[in-house]
Chains A and B, each alone.
Chain A
Amino acid sequence: MIDVQNLTRRYGRHVAVDGVSFQVAQGEVVGLLGPNGAGKTTTMRILAGYLPATSAEVLEVAGHDVLRASLEVRKRIGYLPEAVPLYRELRVEEMLRFHGRLHGMDGARLRSRMGEVLERVGLTDRARQLVGNLSRGLRQRVGLAVALLPGPEVLILDEPTSGLDPLQRREVRDLVRELGAEHTVLVSSHILAEVEAMCPRVLVLTGGRLVADGSREELEARLGGRGAVRVEAVVGPDPEAARALMASLPGVERVELGERLGIHYTFRVHGEGDLREDVGALAATQGWALRELSFQSRSLEELFAHLVAGGDAQELEAAGAASPSGAAPAAEVQPDPAGASLTLELPQAPASSAGAPSERASAAPSPAPQPATGKRVIYSLNPFDRGAQRDLGAPVEVEDAPAPAIDEAGLTPPRPDAGEEPA
């Protein structure tokens, strides 16, 4: 329905849209997401035939070339600009009638179609009111009704929820979602939640360039933001050891140590798939008192911030490995290469991570001596794990439990080599 290849638009020296390519299939609802000034409106204006493209290899909407067969395209699209341009001095029905006539509709067909769209946007009882006297939200609906009137194949809606109150936003969102059943919809917004709610597929524009295209899941997967397991547990006096232990689990890519909440520590375990059961099993063997164990998918908001802050496609490629910005001291442990021994190298607090320790030290003021640890074997931690790419039947070795969670001082005598050379 929409086919764009290498679309570029310049305003003098300023490049507003820079080599954007995407396709939208029939019946898709696609969100164009980006901060203000990213080129969303320009792209939409070009697609609607209002602005000419500076250059484009392919620029087709509804099967017609936008530049060469502009009128054919205009007949087949419903375009609602951000400003919702309507003649304020006309009544709602007059505005619709005018638009219908421009589309060559007349008589009974126009009347019945007007009734339908007014019903659809919930304005049947406002048909006789002057457009200029309507509130912003109602005018937005009139704009939608106008765009819908000729039954266009493609709907291009520029920020249809801007300037609305939360309730109206939800109405418009629901409406747009419904419209996807009959029309191909391209809708823009700079608000993540809107796009997330309306569109199964998202195009992210920033600085005139398309930095991401895909469903929410695809975007998340591409950015390595597949979500994480949040763990809140009593893990004993040395959270760093517990973190390393979790990081040693198969399938875990890295573990971030979060803040301390009383006697509880929080962790975020990143890895393939849902690792809750693995972590749970580990906690059971270690005798940690779990308070929370939940899977949290990374929000599109984070992804967006990441994309826009990076603002660069190369950045995007590398994003999978990069750690997301986090306020918590996030010491990282790269997972061992596959097949390597899972024997733990307990990180030395001062040596391994330079920035974090001061905070950690204050969180755990008395680093308890390490108890003797031995290797333990855990079998098939999570046989139902969907994402894990490992031999689930194979035994997994983990370190033996460290000191009991609540350490009665003096019960475990400090070992001379503790903290220096464990195991």
Chain B
Amino acid sequence: MRGTLVIYRRELAGLFLAPLGWVLLFLALFANGLFVYLLLDATRGDVGTVLRSALGGGTLFWALLVFLPPLLAMRMMAEESRTGTLEYLLTAPVSDGAVVVGKWLAATTFLGLLWGAVPVYGVLFQLQGASPDWGAVLASWLGAVLASGLFMSLGLLAATLSATPLLAAFLAFVACLGWLLLPTFGGQLLTAATGLLQGTSLAEVALPFLRSSLEGMDVLRHFHYSWRIGVLDTAEVAFFLSWPVLFLFITVRLLEARRWRG
């Protein structure tokens, strides 16, 4: 626990001490700010819609969630593995789990700070006389942080597969994108398959089961039916926390396997 905290602080500081953190922060905030500005114009000042769209409702949010974690994961895993600091961390008197969890918490905090810009917009709207739905805004922010954690853990897992930074980032990107889009495309595939296999037992038992499984994994769906409408559902918290637990566990095992291979 102590080790996790020490690593967390170091990693968070490391993100802000290196240019990458600032570049990502600048680009993401710029894009997000522009998005909010344009949307505010387009909706003729519908503050609630604008804030919800900036936190989980719009394409930009998910695009950032697919792009940013791979880059952060690349920096935290592949680059450290290349410069040897990962060897340093893994021979320090902290467990591998503490190292991975510390890194994950730091990256998630970084993304949380990034999404923190949206509530700040809300405050500005408030000062201008509008009245945002604060429950929905804060719940959305919490959901955004949790979703960031999920993608971050997936990114770390994928980035651990390669010690080459660029390849690690690419793998993490593919993993995040796949995770985001698989349920949608999978659902369409299943619909097509159901049409083809009409009447067979496969279509009646297996396919619906697959469909419900895919829907259960669907991040977008989970996000839209809870956080976005301002509902704080413990089942949703569990959903957004249990995946990271699994992914981080696998990441630790992968790190270990890497050492076995040498």
Contacts and interface: CB of A to CB of B under 8 A. Distances in A.
Interface of B is mostly: helix
Contact of A87 (B14, B93, B260): B14
Interface string A73-111: 011000101011111111000000011011110000000
Interface string B1-20: 01100110010001001100
B10 A50 contact: no
Contact of A89 (B2, B17, B95): B17
A71 interface: yes
Given A11-B262, A83-B84, A85-B83, A102 B3 contact: yes
B85 interface: yes
Interface residues of A, number: 30
4 A-B pairs with least C-beta separation: A85-B84, A83-B84, A89-B17, A74-B93
7 contacts: A48-B91, A50-B91, A81-B88, A81-B91, A83-B83, A87-B10, A98-B6
Among A51, A71, A104, max chain B CB count under 10 A is at: A51
Nearest to A75: B93
B10 A74 contact: no
Contacts of B93: 71, 74-75, 102-104
Given A71-B93, A87-B14, A11 B85 contact: no
Interface of A is mostly: loop
Contact of A104 (B2, B7, B259, B262): B2
Interface in B241-262: 259-262
Contacts of A102: 3, 6-7, 92-94
B87 interface: yes
B90 interface: yes
Nearest to B259: A51
Interface residues of B, number: 24
Given A71-B93, A74-B92, A89-B18, A51 B6 contact: no
Interface of B: 2-3, 6-7, 10, 14, 17-18, 83-88, 90-95, 259-262
Contacts of B10: 87, 98
Contact of B88 (A12, A85, A88): A85
B89 to A, nearest CB: 8
Contacts of A84: 84
Interface string A42-74: 100100111110000000000000000001001
A99 B87 contact: no
Contacts of B262: 9, 11, 16, 42, 51
B87 A85 contact: yes
Nearest to A88: B83
Given A49-B91, A50-B87, A89-B17, 7 more contacts: A11-B262, A42-B262, A74-B93, A79-B91, A85-B86, A87-B10, A101-B6
A83 B3 CA distance: 24
Given A51-B262, A85-B83, A71 B14 contact: no
Nearest to A47: B91
Contacts of A71: 93-95
Contacts of A16: 262
Nearest to A50: B91
Contact of A11 (B2, B91, B92, B261): B261
Nearest to A14: B262
Contacts of B259: 50-52
Contacts of B92: 74, 99, 102-103
Among B10, B88, B94, B95, max chain A CB count under 10 A is at: B88
